[in-house]
Structure 1
Amino acid sequence: MKWWAAGLLTLVVASPAEAAYFDGNQLYAACTTQQGTYNYFQEQSRCLAYIEGISDGLEYGRVTQKSSIRACVPAGVTGGQIMDVVIRYLWQHSEIRHLLASQLVTSALIESFPCR
């Protein structure tokens, strides 16, 4: 067995198991990591990638009419703006941050970018 394959197998076996879902508290923590901390770029990237993934999924469902869940993010809105919308929503709705992050991101986008 190659040395890299053995190392990868060790890493996978030794890694702690995580919950099967990402909740709003975890997303909020990632999105609000303070600049200057050792994991700032990692957490900001995690936040943005997660939110953009949900946003892209909603857009795909809307365009292909495979979903009745609708958010109409206007052309030209940046990933940073979408991230700001979601962070604000999570901050304003701290009482439900224990729910699935995907559900909360969807709610934030529908509320901020309703289809007309």
Structure 2
Amino acid sequence: MHQNPFIFFLFTLLIYLLPSRATADYLIGVGSYDSTGPAAGVNMMGYANLDQSTAGIHFRLRARAFIVAESLDGPRFAFVNLDAGMASQLVTITVLDRLSKRYVLSANV
């Protein structure tokens, strides 16, 4: 049986939040984006064979985001998960740059 970690995360989050008796209301948002690259001809970073490259798509790669806010104008927390072996520093810098044009980012990003 194939288990989806995204569903498990949401189920765990709901179990944690439902019995909560907090007096504050939180705004929770989720998002998902297909980040699958080219289907063929991509270098596989040298695992086992330096000349090996991709020849198709085994499964689609996704970027998933979970955002929690105390209010529309209040502070936000975002967690982003990328289905990739590794992302370059350029990806992180570009994402933070785009977010900073839309939102005020805290210093501990």
Quickly name the TM-score band, shorter chain normalised: under 0.3
Which has the greater radius of gyration?
Answer: 2
Relative contact order, higher structure (CA 8 A, sep 6+) = 1
TM-score w.r.t. length of structure 1: 0.23
The structure where helix makes up a greater share of residues is 1
